[in-house]
Structure 1
């Protein structure tokens, strides 16, 4: 899932009302929980505005954070287990997997219900197997342009890609009712997925409600293109009010199924054991409401937390690290106020992509590869880490993220190298020299060389832009910036209209496959913003998916990583340390490497919350 280069990663939401005022009720018609002086309300801020709430259409981290609390995936992660452990969510048990890794059978718990919507005509609507089958088929429906499509097309679910192609060729609506061998309902609570080739890790895709959450067909058909605004799920929270780009409020789902805190931490994990002892047996969710503000600038977000207006700070802005966590320990003044910190290295990669279709930086010829490599070598990654990120990051060596299968802590590459001398030598060698005497390098054909980076208007982005500008100026390359808000840049990236743009991708599970899909040709305009398409890479990427974990697959993963570095469709920047801060009122929080939908597992002490306000 994706996030802003200058915000948090990982990768990621609307109510189409003309008025910015909050809704009087949820989009699905469910009345919000009654207000109470002692209501348990978690308050914090996102640094990025939402884009929508429909699981199959989302791509950014923060929109997914909302959707993942509204929609239920079949599986989830144990909140406290480390290393990460997959457990059933709406299923009775883990999926049944055939010996050849081509058949996956899911058995649903009965008695789970959707929140209300007029399409249900006043009746309680139970979650059934057909809802997950329909939700999965929506990924293949061309109408929704799902960024998830490439992930499942490589898995080769029998018949679905062909069904999609017929829909496109005939210019007809996607035929949801046409049977296919790859996915079918067995009975009311059972469904199966069949693949054309082995995929031992296929079930890992079903742990995130923001991507694989169940939706009701009658709601999607009733709402049509407005479905991004109307999230109707079976999860622990419902959307109760929304002001576009300003505030999102969710309340406890009054019809949520009976579910209790039952996380099982490792015996030697003292912090997790303490949470388990405090929370075990409590009914989920414990919160009455969650209030999310959108505060794009880092300083106001930091100050609102310090002043007790927010209970939780998701990722301490790096410029405040020297004040808040000197020597990576919580500052004494914050300790005296009872604040706590949770610091960990993220399973993520922060990157900048080069659009391979762009006439300036794209292409596969030696001079284009040399240009991209020279830009990467010229970029002062040390300055980014030291000044912009407050030493709360370390240089990335390649696409395989820390904490995922295939990561090798010993691996080193030129991605962590800052070498203006090597950059100049590459540019000189391949004809990027100053031909008209204006002090700036030109392209080999004599036309001006100008590098354009898309960016956002916040302070952290401006700091990164300064590093980019100084770095390229030092090697004689002219640079300019295209400033837009994050949602506009994301739309432009998917349309292939940006030369370069930075973002971050976070692991949704313990495997590195997703990060390598960033260069998989069929994923262009989805995860593959660079639009890199190399037949040999595509073949090798598909081959590793069929293998179980082991030495043969590890060798393939490393080969794919080396190919991404050599062809340079991306400049990999850093992996960030995440430091979350909490006021004493927030109870039970412990950061998870992959489970970002933590609201059901935490509580708020209203008395401590009042005391934290300054």
Structure 2
């Protein structure tokens, strides 16, 4: 065990996460049911526009509620109302949408409401969407709305930027209007056949109350108040998050439509159907970034459920089957291929790596060829995934299972030849290649500091050294890296994108020029790609749209703003007393549907 592992293990003991200190599984003083889970990434805050890390988004999804959601078991994904009275009215060739909020839903109590129960109304969703346009709020999610062309909102934002003020939330705009207490209208400048899916993104389009946001100001991220099944009870930053049942949560019952050919899902639905949600009283989230301590906490009974760390997959699932000792304890697993991609972005505005000239494109392509994705998947992720051929993952519209690209396997000989042809040679004899003009060439890879990242860095250094490219590594906290990426200060960074939308548009948008400084971490700007991207957005699903998606993909593969690595095989693991800990590909509020029996 490394020194870092020992420090993490000591921290766990301090939290009560040791076999001798923990309460019986699922229990706490007073008989309340507490679900204890582990997260591998430290949270940032609990203000939806400001965060994108998986832990913060997941917690937000249990506090703030969008209008729509997905059936927790249906395959393929099936939209259904959550706080909406019904699915929205759609007209004007997918340019006009009218949403109706179900009456009788209330926010959890908070002093900002002055002692009154506060009902959820249409104006809350209008206000929450407008927050993404406020220039005072840094958000990498704004593009999700701006790309849809909500009439008047981008212009409202530009006026605020010009005046160096916050957004005028009371200024009327044609694209987002309250019609009455429970109804609001959205109007778009262009057709958007898949727009409604944005309102099923848990942790993104949940309703916030304006008086709460204004009461807490810059501290709103520590005071989340929503209509969801849980409230934030206690928070130790980067260590522990405790959610408690929202005492004012409405009477909502478990309902699911499992695929008839999935006996596990059928049995789960039969067991939980009709039970009142949430089915646990508390959720305790422990931040345990290192894999080994996280696994030991689960084996020791201190964690009830979590995602199986990929580094211990061979221990828990030898030859793909649950280990006999875990079977004897009633441990359960649920496996699914996530709608995600692990990728490395290349900053296309970086002075050493960026640009669209043949030499710079060749450099990025050579780096991609030199890296060994197969080795990464085998050595670091223990084959818990699928090699990626592009950013587009399985399970979303636009994925092509027949596509084969140079991302799938490394080729050192081709990488060296490409560098040689375009003038990247060792000019001064120090063993490292320089730019064609003789300037030093140094690759800079950013990342967090943990055991997995160290393995990845070692592989990067080995592969780049093999083709004569010097590489340095920059370490930072995840939240800080996001800030630096949004500001364009990172040259390269590897991490995973996971979508909440059953459509490949999300991954194409990572290269859309106007999204630079938001989701387009690569700051890639190519008019030909943008035209193909915009064309597929406006088209209904079908052959014509698939052709436009394929064209956009070809531009990305040719210019290489991103290197796609793999699509993760997720394994949720839980102890015998846990029921329903089964993540949905496109939602994040799984604790709503989890029981302790």
TM-score under structure 2 length normalisation: 0.94
Q: Does 1:483 align with 2:475?
A: yes
SS in 1 for 2:420: helix
SS in 2 for 1:187: coil
Q: 2:100 is matched with which residue: 100, 107, 116?
A: 107
Q: How many residues align?
A: 574
Tell me how far apart the structure 2 counterparts of residues 388 and 35 of structure 1 sit (CA, whole Å). 37
SS in 2 for 1:580: strand
SS in 1 for 2:184: strand
Alpha-carbon contact 1:21-1:243 (below 8 Å) kept: no
Q: 2:573 is matched with which residue: 572, 581, 598?
A: 581
Tell me how far apart the structure 1 counterparts of residues 92 and 151 of structure 2 sit (CA, whole Å). 18
Q: Does 1:380 align with 2:372?
A: yes
**Structure 1 position 514, deviation (Å):** 0.6
SS in 1 for 2:494: strand
1:590 corresponding residue in structure 2: 582
Q: Does 1:210 align with 2:203?
A: yes
Tell me how far apart the structure 1 counterparts of residues 498 and 166 of structure 2 sit (CA, whole Å). 33
Q: 1:240 is matched with which residue: 190, 211, 233?
A: 233
Q: 2:516 is matched with which residue: 517, 521, 524?
A: 524
Alpha-carbon contact 1:58-1:211 (below 8 Å) kept: no
Tell me how far apart the structure 1 counterparts of residues 580 and 350 of structure 2 sit (CA, whole Å). 48
Tell me how far apart the structure 1 counterparts of residues 588 and 207 of structure 2 sit (CA, whole Å). 18
Q: 1:419 is matched with which residue: 411, 429, 443?
A: 411
Tell me how far apart the structure 2 counterparts of residues 224 and 557 of structure 1 sit (CA, whole Å). 42
Change (3 A) 1:35 1:470: closer
1:86 corresponding residue in structure 2: 79
**Structure 1 position 128, deviation (Å):** 0.3
Name the stretch that deviates more: 378-387 or 420-429: 378-387
Q: Does 1:348 align with 2:344?
A: no
**Structure 1 position 276, deviation (Å):** 1.0
2:304 corresponding residue in structure 1: 311
**Structure 1 position 21, deviation (Å):** 11
Tell me how far apart the structure 2 counterparts of residues 130 and 313 of structure 1 sit (CA, whole Å). 37
**Structure 1 position 170, deviation (Å):** 2.0
Tell me how far apart the structure 1 counterparts of residues 313 and 539 of structure 2 sit (CA, whole Å). 43
Alpha-carbon contact 1:184-1:192 (below 8 Å) kept: yes
1:9-408 pair list within 5 angstroms? 36-314=29-307, 316-408=308-400
**Structure 1 position 58, deviation (Å):** 1.4
Name the stretch that deviates more: 171-180 or 280-289: 171-180
**Structure 1 position 275, deviation (Å):** 0.9
Q: 1:462 is matched with which residue: 436, 454, 462?
A: 454
SS in 2 for 1:573: strand
SS in 1 for 2:569: strand
Gaps of 5+ in 2: 1-13, 17-26
Tell me how far apart the structure 2 counterparts of residues 352 and 265 of structure 1 sit (CA, whole Å). 36
**Structure 1 position 37, deviation (Å):** 4.0
1:478-557 pair list within 5 angstroms? 478-557=470-549
1:609 corresponding residue in structure 2: none
**Structure 1 position 319, deviation (Å):** 2.0
Tell me how far apart the structure 2 counterparts of residues 86 and 93 of structure 1 sit (CA, whole Å). 10
SS in 2 for 1:445: coil
**Structure 1 position 313, deviation (Å):** 2.2
- Root-mean-square deviation (CA, aligned residues, Å) is 1.5
TM-score under structure 1 length normalisation: 0.92
SS in 2 for 1:556: helix
Gaps of 5+ in 1: 1-19, 23-33, 606-614
Alpha-carbon contact 2:572-2:581 (below 8 Å) kept: no
**Structure 1 position 262, deviation (Å):** 1.3
Alpha-carbon contact 1:108-1:189 (below 8 Å) kept: yes
